[in-house]
Structure 1
Amino acid sequence: MERLTLDVNGAFDPAAGGLARADLDALAAPARAAFDGFEARRRAGEVGFADLPADAAAAEASRALAAELGRRFENLLVLGIGGSSLGGRAVLGALCHPFHNLLPQDRRGGLRVFFPDNSDPATFAALLDTVDLERTCFATVTKSGGTAETMSQHMVLRERVVARFGEEGYRERCVLVTDPQRGVLRQIAADERLRALPLGASIGGRFSVLSPVGLLPAAAAGVDTAALLAGAAELEARCRSGAVLENPALLYAAVLHLLDVRRGRRLHVLMPYADALRDLGDWFVQLWAESLGKNPGTGPTPIRAVGATDQHSSLQLMMEGPHDKVVTLVRVAEPRAELTIPLPAGYARHPDLAYLGGHTMGELLEAERRATGAALRKNGRPTISIELPRLEPRTVGQLLMFLELATAYAGGLYGVNAFDQPGVEAGKRYAQGLLGRPGYEKYRDELLGAPAADPALVLG
C-alpha cells in the first residue's frame, strides 16, 4: 500500500542545531499521555474528527446532495469562513485541475466551485456579477448559524435569488451545513424548508474537512470522496499507538514540540513542493495556530511557504535570519504532469542555460527541494520531510488526517485545549457589539470608551 512517509532525521542533525535522541526518549511518557488524553476525549464523544472516515451516512448524504446539485446547476458557491471554507478549498486545490473552474463542463467532471470566504464586499459583489445565478447554487456553512461574515453573504445572495427566482427557486438553490439540532441556521432550515447536512457537535470547524463541510464541495467538484476517506482511515489506523516511534502523527507533534521548547524553534514552516498543496498550507496555518496559540508561553507560529516560489522570497530569512524556524518540506514523488526542458540551438552555447536541457521540470523542482533542505541544515536550520507517492484522493486523505492528529497530540504536549478558540471569540464580541447585536452592548461601550488616540501619532 502506497502511503505517506515522515522523515525527521533532519531535525536530529547536529549541524542543523537539531535534537538529540535523548530529547525524544525523555518525551516518551508525555507523548503517551498526550495520546491517551486524546483517545479518552474521543471515547467520551467530545472530539469526533478522527472517526469521520467511518461515518458512511454523512459521506453518502454529501455525495447524494452533490450529485443532485450537479444535475441542475453549473456553479456552487461555498459560503463559509475559516474552517468552513479552508478545508474544502484545500481538497479541491490538491485534487482538481489547477484551473478547474475555467475548464469546459465536459472536462471538469463536476461543478465549478467558488469559495468567497471573506466578507469583503468588493470580492463578493464581483463574484455575484460574474456567475450566472440561473446556473448557480450555494451552500451556507456555519455550525452555529450565527457567523456574521457567512450569514451576511447568505442574506445578500438570498435576496437576489428570491427576487429573481422566487421562494421555490431559492429552496432549489440553497443548501446548508450546520449543527444537527441547535443554532439559528438549523431553525432557518426548518422555517424555510431548506436541505441541510449535519455537522456533529464533536466536530470543530478547523477539524471538519472530512465532514460534509469538505465532502460536499469536494464531491460536487468530482473528487472521489470515498477514496479520500479511505486514505484518512488508513492513516488513522497507523496512529493507534502511544509509542512515539510507532505513530507518525505523534512523532511529528513530538519533534515540533521539542524543537520549540528545547531549541527555540517557534516558527513552523510547512513548505510543499507542489502548487496543488498551496491551499492546504493555508488550512494548516489555521489548524496549528488556532489550536495551539492559547497563552503567552504557548503557541508555535505556523507559516505557509511553497517551493520553489518561496526560495525567491522568504527563504533568505529562513536561511540566515534568526534561529527560530523549523521547515517541513513536502515532496510529491510522482508529479501529476511532466514537461521536458528543450534546449534550443542558440541556447546551447550558454553554460548558464545549457545544463537544463534534457531534464524535466519535475527533476528541477525535486533538485530544488533536496538542495534547499541540505542548505538549510548546513546553515544550522533543522528540517523535516513528508513524502506522498502522488497527489490522489487516498494520499491527500492521509495527509489531512496526519496533520489533524498531530495537532491534537501537540495540544496535549503543550497542555492546552486544542479544540477551542477563546481569543477568536473575544474579537467577534467587539465586532458584534459595534453592529448592534442585542446583549453585546457592554463590548461596544468598552470599545467606544477606549482612550482617544494621540493625534501626533496619526499622519494623514
Structure 2
Amino acid sequence: MIQLHLEKVRKWFTEEHEKRLAPLAEFAYGELQNRDRDAFGKGWMSWPVDHHESLYADIDKIASDFRAKSNVTVVIGIGGSYLGARSVLSMVQPEFTREGKHEVIFAGQQLSPTYHAHLLKYLDSREVTLVVVSKSGTTLEPSAVFHTFRDYLEKRYGEAEASARICAITDAQKGSLRAYADEKKYATLPIPDDIGGRYSVLSAVGLLPMALAGVDYRKVMQGAANMRDQLAKVAITANPAVQYALARHVLYQQGFVAEALVTYEPRVADFAGWWQQLFGESQGKDGIGLYPTMLQYTTDLHSMGQYVQDSRKVLVETVLDAFIDDAPELKVPVGLDEKNRYLENVSFHKLQEVAVESVMIAHSEAGVPNIRIEARGDAESLYGELVYFFEVACAFGGYLLGINAFDQPGVEAYKSEMRARLQK
C-alpha cells in the first residue's frame, strides 16, 4: 500500500497551484496515456498485466539450470541493466540470513580493476554461472567485463561448458550481443523493444536475477499490476503519482534545484539508486530538471543534517517511509542510566516512526519542503508497487516539463570520447 502525504509541502504547493495547473495536468496525462506518442518507450505501462507465461517458463528453466550448476551467478550490466535488479534483491532479501541461498553478484557497473580482479579470485573456489545484460552489446563497461569473465569461464570449464553457463539478456533480433550469443549458443532472454533500460526492471532484466536469488517475482509483478489498476481507477486530482509529480514540478518552478529521496531502511537504499537513474536520465535534459540525489537517515543526519537544516534552501526531500514487516519486534531493554531512561521498553519501530516525523517537522519548518510517501506491505508486492508508481510519476512529470522522458542523448557523449581515445 502506498499513500502520498503533502502536508509538509503545502506552504509551497497549494490548492491554487493545483487549480492553475489543472489544464497542463490534463494535457500531460493525456500525452502519457496516448500510446502512439513516444510509443518506443511506453511498453512498461501495460507490461505488468500483459501475458508473460512463456517468458516466465524460460526464466524458471534458466534459473533452475544455473542454480543446479553453480552457487554463484555474476550479473554483468550497468545503469538500468543492473540498478533495478540490485535494488529488488536488496529490498526483498533480509540482511544476514542468506546462508544456503544462491548468491547473485553484480559486475560491469564500473571499470575498477581492483573490484573485478578480487571478484575473479573470489570465484575460484565457487561454481559459477554468468548473466550479461545489454540491449546493444556495445556499452563499454559491461562489454569489457563480460568478455573478461567469459574468457575466465572458458579457461576454467572449456568453451562448450562455459557456453552452457552463460545467459545473455539482450535485443530479441539484433545487436552485437545477440549475434555473439547466437554464435556461442548461449541461453538468451529478450529485452522488449519498447522498454528502455531504466524502465526495464520488471522485464527479464530484473526477473532472472530475482529467480536466481529465490525471489517470488510473480508477487513483484502482481504488486506492479495492482498499482497500475489503482492509478487507473482514480481521477487525476486523486492520483498519488500525478500529485507527487505536480508537487515536485511546482517546487522546481519556485527555484528548488535538487530532490533527495530519503530512506530510513538500509534495505531500501539501493531502491533510491534506481530512482536516481530513473529521474536523472528521464528528466535531466534540455538544461532543465531537478537534480536527483539520495540520503539515508538517520545515518546521514549525522553528516548531512546540518547542511539540510541550515544551508541555502535549494533542496526538496521526498521521504520514502517504507516499512517491511518481516522481523520480530525489537525493544530497548530496561535498566538504563538516568539520562537514557526515556528509551526503556520503546520499540525500534516506534523510534523509527518518531524519527521520521521529527525530522520532517524540523526540516520543513526550516524551509525545506518535505513530501512523504508511506509504503507498507510485504517486500515483493511493495517493490512492484513502488516501481510502477515512480515510473508513472516520472513519465508524467516529463510531459509537464515538455521533454521526452524516454531518451537519453547526453549519455552518449562520454562514451564517444572514450571510444575515440581507445581506438587511437
Q: TM-score band, normalised by the shorter chain?
A: over 0.9
Distance change >3 Å, CA 145–CA 61, structure 1 → 2? same
Q: Which residue of 1 aligns with 2:95?
A: 98
| Distance in 1 of aligned mates of 2:6 and 2:229 | 21
CA-CA distance at 1:131 after TM superposition: 2.0
Letter in 1 for 2:89: L
CA-CA distance at 1:55 after TM superposition: 4.0
> Which of 380, 398, 419 is the equivalent residue of 2:406?
419
Q: Which residue of 2 aligns with 1:306?
A: 296
Q: Which residue of 1 aligns with 2:165?
A: 173
| Distance in 2 of aligned mates of 1:244 and 1:118 | 40
Distance change >3 Å, CA 58–CA 50, structure 1 → 2? farther
Q: Does residue 49 in structure 1 map to residue 44 in structure 2?
A: yes
Q: Is the Cα contact below 8 Å between 1:94 and 1:391 reproduced in 2?
A: no
| Distance in 2 of aligned mates of 1:124 and 1:422 | 29
- Calculate percent identity across the aligned residue pairs: 32
| Distance in 2 of aligned mates of 1:242 and 1:357 | 44
Q: Does residue 226 in structure 1 map to residue 218 in structure 2?
A: yes
Q: Does residue 10 in structure 1 map to residue 8 in structure 2?
A: yes
How large is the Cα RMSD of the aligned pairs? 1.7
Q: Is the Cα contact below 8 Å between 2:198 and 2:277 reproduced in 1?
A: yes
Unmatched runs of 5 consecutive residues or more in structure 1: 437-443, 445-460
Q: Is the Cα contact below 8 Å between 1:332 and 1:387 reproduced in 2?
A: yes
170-179 vs 25-34, which moves further: 25-34
Aligned length: 419
Partner SS for 1:355: helix
Partner SS for 1:197: strand
Letter in 2 for 1:74: N
| Distance in 1 of aligned mates of 2:126 and 2:180 | 23
Distance change >3 Å, CA 160–CA 334, structure 1 → 2? closer
> Which of 26, 30, 39 is the equivalent residue of 1:36?
30
| Distance in 1 of aligned mates of 2:320 and 2:208 | 27
Q: How does 1:318-329 map to 2 (within 5 A)?
A: 318-329=308-319
CA-CA distance at 1:332 after TM superposition: 2.8
CA deviations 1:352-372 (Å, max 9, x no partner) are x11111112221111111100
Q: Which residue of 2 aligns with 1:119?
A: 111
Q: How does 1:268-283 map to 2 (within 5 A)?
A: 268-283=259-274
Partner SS for 1:33: helix
Q: How does 1:324-339 map to 2 (within 5 A)?
A: 324-333=314-323, 335-337=325-327, 338-339=329-330
Partner SS for 2:132: strand
Q: Which residue of 2 aligns with 1:61?
A: 58
| Distance in 1 of aligned mates of 2:89 and 2:345 | 32
Q: How does 1:193-342 map to 2 (within 5 A)?
A: 193-240=185-232, 243-261=235-253, 263-296=254-287, 298-333=288-323, 335-337=325-327, 338-342=329-333
Q: Is the Cα contact below 8 Å between 1:326 and 1:382 reproduced in 2?
A: yes
Q: Which residue of 2 aligns with 1:440?
A: none
Partner SS for 1:188: helix
> Which of 356, 361, 369 is the equivalent residue of 1:382?
369
Q: Is the Cα contact below 8 Å between 1:273 and 1:306 reproduced in 2?
A: yes
Q: Does residue 434 in structure 1 map to residue 421 in structure 2?
A: yes
Q: TM-score, normalised by structure 1?
A: 0.87
Q: Is the Cα contact below 8 Å between 1:180 and 1:198 reproduced in 2?
A: yes
Partner SS for 1:367: helix
Q: Which residue of 2 aligns with 1:85?
A: 82
| Distance in 2 of aligned mates of 1:354 and 1:242 | 47
Q: Is the Cα contact below 8 Å between 1:209 and 1:215 reproduced in 2?
A: yes
Letter in 2 for 1:78: V
- Structure whose alpha-carbon radius of gyration is higher: 1
| Distance in 2 of aligned mates of 1:427 and 1:415 | 25
CA-CA distance at 1:81 after TM superposition: 0.5
| Distance in 1 of aligned mates of 2:341 and 2:277 | 43
Letter in 2 for 1:362: H
CA-CA distance at 1:133 after TM superposition: 6.5
Q: Which residue of 1 aligns with 2:380?
A: 393
> Which of 394, 397, 420 is the equivalent residue of 1:407?
394
Partner SS for 1:77: strand
CA-CA distance at 1:62 after TM superposition: 2.2
Q: Which residue of 1 aligns with 2:16?
A: 22
Letter in 2 for 1:218: M
CA deviations 1:417-459 (Å, max 9, x no partner) are 11111111111111111111xxxxxxx7xxxxxxxxxxxxxxx
CA-CA distance at 1:391 after TM superposition: 4.3
Letter in 1 for 2:390: L
Q: Is the Cα contact below 8 Å between 2:398 and 2:404 reproduced in 1?
A: yes
CA-CA distance at 1:320 after TM superposition: 1.3
Letter in 1 for 2:331: T
Partner SS for 2:158: helix
Letter in 1 for 2:87: A
CA deviations 1:389-416 (Å, max 9, x no partner) are 2342111110011111111111101111
| Distance in 2 of aligned mates of 1:6 and 1:229 | 22
